Homo-oligomer: A and B are copies of this chain.
């Protein structure tokens, strides 16, 4: 077993298929609409009952990975771009800079604030 694939489900349809593994979404780069890299997906938040992904948690800001914070985004704002090999997010950098966020290793529960800022998650 290769160490790079341990713990991950291989998905031959990774970029072209209908489905993607959660383990592949987590860690994927996120770009703005100009193609500038904003950060990466730290995790995704799923509605337990419906199985619907509601939010992606974007790791954004800081310098060389130091001081970045977590920005919950509505999942519908993310579109996978096969050319970039990552998600494009339809949110201006200035909008993101004023958005609800929380520090790494702290907890977040105010999803209503995220919905208020961006509009409903779904």
Q: Which residues of A contact B (CB under 8 A)?
A: 1-2, 5, 7-13, 17-23, 25-26, 42-55, 57, 70, 75-76, 80, 104-109, 111, 122
A18 touching B107 by the CB < 8 A rule? no
CB contacts (< 8 Å) of A52 on chain B: these are 50-53
The reply to whether A18 and B43 form a contact with Cβ atoms under 8 Å apart is no
Q: Is A107 in contact with B10, judged by CB distance below 8 angstroms?
A: yes
Q: Is B51's CB under 8 angstroms from A76's CB? A: yes
Please name all residues of chain B whose beta carbon is closer than 8 Å to the beta carbon of A45 when the two chains form the complex.
9, 11, 19-22
Verify B22–A48 contact, CB threshold 8 A: no
Residues of chain B within 8 A (CB-CB) of A54 are 19, 51
